[in-house]
Amino acid sequence: MPEFREFIPAGRMLGDEYIELRVDEYEAIRLIDYLGLSQEEAAAGMEVSRATIQNMYEAARKKLAAALVEGKRLRVEGGVYQICPKGRQCPGKKCCRRGEGI
């Protein structure tokens, strides 16, 4: 699970409207943008098709852009996912879930 699950723009109140970024969408962003994996590598790591990861990634980027441009809260929750046994220590491109484990 993400360590930080809610992001609030300065000046916003907790009761304001928010955008929900699903955990699987968060993971797509983490794998592709943060760890630098290709969409194909990220799909293998998440055990989904390349088309599925592409859809998750596109949806996540749109939500991130909307949160930034519109100044809305961003909350990471929901979605369909499995937690990697290595958690935050996942080695990225040598992910154990892809059979290239350490």
Residue 84 — pLDDT band, cuts 50, 70, 90?
Answer: low
pLDDT for 14 beyond 90: no
Q: CA of 46: how far to CAs of 6, 9, 14, 98, in Å?
A: 23, 30, 32, 9
pLDDT digits (tens, 9 = 90+) for 35-64: 999 999 999 988 899 999 999 999 999 999
∠38-101-80 over CA atoms, to 5°?
60
Report the alpha-carbon distance of residue 83 to residue 23 in Å, rounded. 10
